[in-house]
Structure 1
Amino acid sequence: MATRTATQLRAEERDRYDAYLAACPARKLLDRISDKWVSLLLTALAGGPQRYSELSRTIAGVSQKMLTQTLRGLERDGLVTRTVTAAVPVRVDYALTPLGASLLPVMTAIKAWAETNIEAVERAQRAYDQAGA
């Protein structure tokens, strides 16, 4: 087995989480957080815990399947907690974890940027499409 220098070990450690590298595990996280339902759910939970039905009403167009899948993924990743309260009917609340809350400023900024710049993007798309026709 070849020995590695301290410089090589530092370089390997630095490259271990370089999302530009194909094998980097951070790519999976980037894939998760770049999903539109994730960004909308995280920003919807910014005001505090919400029930599943509240989230479903807040986020127009999300199917029950996608909402459930996205919430489960966020819970698995440690970004959201799911709290079940014994009642009739059973109450289930979702809330941001501290890790999820740390991502919130980025998601809020992206959502605001999209809302602010959609008209400019649509103009650019029309111009591009007309130039290519």
Structure 2
Amino acid sequence: MHRPWRLLLLGLLFCLPTAACDLFSDGATRIAYQIKDGVKKLERREGAVYHLTEVTPEGFRQCSGPYTVQFDRVGAVIVWCRDTVGTTVSSHSTSYHRRFVTTEATTIIDKGTGETLTITLERRGSRAHLTAVR
């Protein structure tokens, strides 16, 4: 194989996984990454509040119907994706966001097709807290 083709192939091997991340992530992980990004935008001063809007577990051909999300007080996000008649077609969970935010209470939210979540983050001491989900 000629050297330029090897370099191109090597470059594709490194770039493809990062470009296709959404193709291989699940609904809970997508929400966790959105929370992580929101914590980065939350001011460092005590009492600062940031509202994450348009949060959704929807991804490439995944979780595009109604869904239920549980934010557990112990730090888990659990997502149940449903079809149009309400049957669970997949479920996912993660605790990745726990590194960045403390969850105040267990909250379970049902959303219809296309509905998004609004998550409220608040700075308390050196830590971000997830204080509300709508």
- Considering Cα pairs closer than 8 Å and 6+ residues apart, tell me whether 1 or 2 has the greater RCO: 2
TM-score clears 0.5: no
Q: Name the one with the larger helix percent.
A: 1
Calculate the TM-score normalised by the size of structure 2: 0.30
